[in-house]
Amino acid sequence: MIDTDRCQATLPAREPIAAPRHAVKPAPTFLSKLMRLPRMAGSCALRLGGITAPLCRGGWWIAWAIAIGILPVMISFAFGIPGHQWFSALLLAALCLGLVREDAWFRGMGLIGLTFAAHSVVVIALSTAAPQRTSAILPHANAYWQKQQTWIKTGEDPEYRLEAWVPAHLQLLAASSLFTFTSLGTVTFGQGFYEVDLMNFYNAQLLARSQSLPLALLLGWHVWSVLRGLGYLVLTFEIISLSLAVWSGKRLSSWRTRAGRWGAGLGLLAADGVAKFLLLDVVRQQLEINLL
Amino acid sequence: MSDDDEGGSGLMGWVIFILIFGVGNAILYFTTGIFIIPIPRR
């Protein structure tokens, strides 16, 4: 029997094959340089996350959420200039990058949820106290309230028909996913603040014209809208994470975690549709009865 | 996690970052986003 270990020990170690001296690394072509740009941008996004991540450690994310939710809109209100929705969106997206980088999904969703909640409380308060001045900084809010008023009083709204809202919601899901991916959440947050403010202004007007304020607030912020908001909260965090992973080339989360977030987000959007289908008329009737 | 191993550091990286995520998305939003993002009622 041959002692293979001894045989191998006596063999000379293999020398690595040296590259020929005349071989020169080819100069990068214009196309190859162009292909590196997304990765450069992704690396910078990851670095930005590295800068913002420490800001959200401990309980600091709570303070940041409240500040981002209320300060831009209050400044906007004080000066009568719109634009707070995009300013808040930029700040929120920057902080989310830090939490996405650490795959801190619990704090990430807490940050997004609390920012929107704090923002909503302030916008409802401002819209109740000074509706004219507030509507000037909330694009299309007054027109939205008029449409809602017609729906509550008549029950008629073509946009609430099944054949209208199902395609609209599927389109919203596709567009939101696309823009979350391309903008690392900024466009989705900006659009989210815009849509939430339509609801906030409508709720403030409803409160001013209702007998029971708690009932108006409870039903005015429709349960299906809340479910949709929560669904997009989960999906937005997940798609920012996916986007940052693709742009930067880093693995930021496990596929199991990603699957869980997609399941939860899509489940909440499906629940939005079911709740709307089942409760639409009941909610409308209660809102109408509650009107002054 | 090292962030600089893909050449993302430096001024040029940040310029590319702003061009792609800032300018690029602004163009995309104002040319297509405002048309393809619907406003579902409630």
Average pLDDT over all residues of chain B? 79
Cβ <8 Å between A50 and B38: no
Tell me if chain B has a CB within 8 Å of the CB of A101: yes
pLDDT of amino acid B2: 47
Angle (CA) A186-B25-A193 rounded to 5° is: 30
Cβ-Cβ pairs closer than 8 A, A with B, add up to 104
pLDDT of amino acid A78: 97
Cβ <8 Å between A47 and B3: yes
Asked if A244 and A46 count as a contact pair (C-beta separation under 8 A), the reply is: yes
pLDDT of amino acid A189: 97
pLDDT of amino acid A165: 86
Cβ <8 Å between A168 and B38: yes
pLDDT class for B33, splitting at 50, 70, 90?
A: confident
pLDDT in tens, chain A (292 residues): 444 444 444 555 555 565 555 666 677 788 887 888 999 999 999 999 999 999 999 999 999 999 999 999 999 999 999 999 999 999 999 999 999 999 999 999 999 999 999 999 999 999 999 999 999 999 999 999 999 999 999 988 888 888 888 999 999 999 999 999 999 999 999 999 999 999 999 999 999 999 999 999 999 999 999 999 999 999 999 999 999 999 999 999 999 999 999 999 999 999 999 999 999 999 999 999 999 8
Q: Is the pLDDT of residue B28 over 80?
A: yes
The single-letter code of the amino acid at A207 is L
Cβ <8 Å between B40 and A165: yes
**Nearest to A109, CA basis, from A264, A267, A270, A254:** A264
Neighbouring residues of A125: CB distance < 8 A, sequence distance ≥ 6: A204
Q: Is the pLDDT of residue B5 over 50?
A: no
Tell me which residue in B14, B28, B41 faces A44 most closely, judged by beta carbons.
B14
Distances (CA, A) of B40 to A77, A103, B17, B22: 26, 31, 32, 26
pLDDT of amino acid A31: 82
Classify B23 as helix, strand or coil: helix
Q: Count other Cβ atoms within 10 Å, centred on residue A185.
A: 28
pLDDT of amino acid B9: 57
Q: What kind and span of H or E run contains B17?
A: helix B10-17
User: What does the alpha-carbon distance between residue A191 and residue A68 come to, in Å, rounded to a whole number?
Assistant: 15
Tell me which residue in B7, B36, B40 faces A40 most closely, judged by beta carbons.
B7
Nearest Cα of chain B lies from the Cα of A197 at a distance, in angstroms, of 11
User: What does the alpha-carbon distance between residue B33 and residue B25 come to, in Å, rounded to a whole number?
Assistant: 9
Neighbouring residues of A117: CB distance < 8 A, sequence distance ≥ 6: A69
Asked if A235 and A266 count as a contact pair (C-beta separation under 8 A), the reply is: yes
Tell me if chain A has a CB within 8 Å of the CB of B15: no
pLDDT of amino acid A21: 59
List chain B residues with CB under 8 Å of A182. 21, 24-25, 28
Task: Give the mean pLDDT of B13-32.
Answer: 93
User: What does the alpha-carbon distance between residue A85 and residue A71 come to, in Å, rounded to a whole number?
Assistant: 11
pLDDT of amino acid A163: 84
User: What does the alpha-carbon distance between residue A200 and residue A124 come to, in Å, rounded to a whole number?
Assistant: 5
Annotate chain A with DSSP letters as a single string: ---HHHHHHHSPPPPPPPPPTT--PPPPPHHHHHHHHHHHHHHHHHHHHHHHGGGGTTTHHHHHHHHHHHHHHHHHHHHT---HHHHHHHHHHHHHHHHHHTT-HHHHHHHHHHHHHHHHHHHHHHHHH-HHHHHTTSTTHHHHHHHHHHHHHH---GGGSHHHHHHHHHHHHHHHHHHHHHHTTHHHHHHHHHHHHHHHHHHHHHHHTBS-HHHHHHHHS-HHHHHHHHHHHHHHHHHHHHHHHHHHT---S-HHHHHHHHHHHHHHHHHHHHHHHHHHHHHHHHHHHHB-
Cβ <8 Å between A186 and B40: no
Interface predicted TM-score of the whole assembly (ipTM), two decimals: 0.82
